[in-house]
Structure formats: C-alpha cells, structure tokens
Amino acid sequence: MKKRIAGEEKGVPVRLMHKSNLKAFCDQIGVPAPAEIARFESVSDIDLNGLPDRFVLKPAFASTAEGVMLLERDGSRYYDAMSKKYWSDDEIVQLQQRIFEKYSGVRDRVTLAEQRVDCSEGLAIPADYKFLGFQGEIGIIIRIDRTKDKLAMSYYDGKFVPIVDERVRFNSDIADRESKLPPADWRRLLNLARRVSVAVPTPCARIDLFSDANGPLLGEITLTPGSFYYAAGHTLTGAEDERLGLLWEQAEAQLSV
C-alpha cells in the first residue's frame, strides 16, 4: 500500500476513484449504482430548482464523504441528514464552493446530484459497507454507521462473519465499536463486491456498497484505502496484515497470467 500511495505501482486505474467516472464503469459491467440526477461542471452551475425533494449532493472529486449532503426539501430550506442541519440554497452552494476551492489542484471538479438510497436497514443515513477485495477474494469488511454523533464501526471477515476478537485493534477515541450481525441481504452484498473486485483491473480495491431496499448499490471504488496503513482509528495484528498481503500477492499473480 505504501508503494501504491506513493504512485510507484504501475497500471492502477485511478480514473475509477473519480465518482463522475463510476456510472460509465457500472454501465459497462452491468452493476447497479445510485441514479445520477444532475451533473454540475462547476459550483456556479449548481441549480437545485427542478431537482427531486430528496436527493444526494456530492463533490465527485472529494474524499472521506467530505461535502456529501443527504438533502430533503422542507419548504424553502433543505434538511441535511449528514450534518443534521437545515440549509438554504445559498448556504448549500457556499459549502460546496469551500470544498471546490479546497481541492483546487484536482481536475474535473464535478458536483453530482444522485438518487437517495432507501436503506434496507431503515437508517436515515445508509450504512456504508466497505469490502477490501483482491480479485474476487474479500479480505475484510467494514460497516460504518454515520447516524449518530460518533461513527460506529463493525468488522467482518471475507465471509461476512463478525470479527469480535483482536484481529482489528480499535481506537475508541475515534469511533464506537459495534458487533452488528450481517444485514439480511449480506449474500447479495458479498456477491456484488466480489463481482466488482474482479472487474477492476488491479490486485487490491476497496468496494463501497449500500444496502438499498431494492438491492445492493455500488457507492464508490477506492484504490488507496489507507485507513489501516495510516492507523486512522484502527490497525491490524501482524498476522492479519500478513494475510491480506498474501491475498494481494495472489491477486497480482492471477492478473499476470
């Protein structure tokens, strides 16, 4: 991962990390994703008039859910489930402008309006399921619940069995640790994660999925998932780190055949 983050690995399909490219990829491989409602090439183009009463607004170029707003119209304002605040049209544009300027070095700073996910678990903010995939082999799964004031994390192995031991070392100052059972549609989530993992031409990719009431949806693909590498709230035991490294090497060998 250090080599990849430093840009020393060849052939990494970084274009797939830009959310504005994800729809074409999904169409190409026949994978469901939230429907794109509108695309704004710059912040000055953002026009909320004519959009549905419920939608997601997200900067396609930002990371770690920065600037993502789950909006619902309430009279002349919008309620954002992410910030748990009401926003006017102008305030929404001003926030997106700050994100736009923060990422001034990024090309193609597109902002997207997308379909709201109807969470199958009944959460106002759908749980985020992150699958660390190695060409169809899932190494570890992380579930993030963003509905509370503090993030809540659950962990599973590659077969969706909850991890309750010390394979994952956790920093409780960053988030709360939960031990949630797999969702009712865990098999469909796992199968979709494997399918996308195989379709991405690289040994390692994190596949982020949502459990929509009508079936799993692909949220994004991350090729530099550095949370374990940077020890950002959680780390792995040496044995678990080595196991995932072996999965990476096996996937690399598989691609080279």
pLDDT in tens, 16-35: 988 888 889 999 999 999 99
In whole angstroms, what is the distance from residue 194 CA to residue 189 CA? 9
Answer yes or no: do 81 and 203 share one domain: no
Answer yes or no: do 103 and 155 share one domain: no
- Residue range of the domain that includes 214: 12-33+119-256
Contact 43, 97 (CB under 8 A): yes
Question: Does the global pTM surpass 0.85?
Answer: yes
**pLDDT of 87 over the 90 cut:** yes
pLDDT in tens, 174-210: 889 999 999 999 999 999 999 999 999 999 999 999 9
Answer yes or no: do 57 and 145 share one domain: no
Q: What is the CATH number of the domain that holds 65?
A: 3.30.1490
Answer yes or no: do 104 and 123 share one domain: no
Answer yes or no: do 124 and 199 share one domain: yes
Answer yes or no: do 231 and 158 share one domain: yes
97 occurs within a structural domain: yes
pLDDT in tens, 123-169: 999 999 999 999 999 999 999 999 988 899 999 999 999 999 999 98
124 occurs within a structural domain: yes
Burial class from Cβ neighbours inside 10 Å (0-12, 13-18, 19+) for residue 28 reads: exposed
Contact 205, 222 (CB under 8 A): yes
In whole angstroms, what is the distance from residue 89 CA to residue 48 CA? 7
Please, what is the average pLDDT of the chain?
A: 94
- 253 Ramachandran zone, left/alpha/beta (phi>0; psi -120 to 50): alpha
- Starting at the edge strand found earlier in the chain, the sheet holding 54-59 runs 36-40, 111-114, 54-59, 69-74, 77-80, 85-87
1 occurs within a structural domain: no
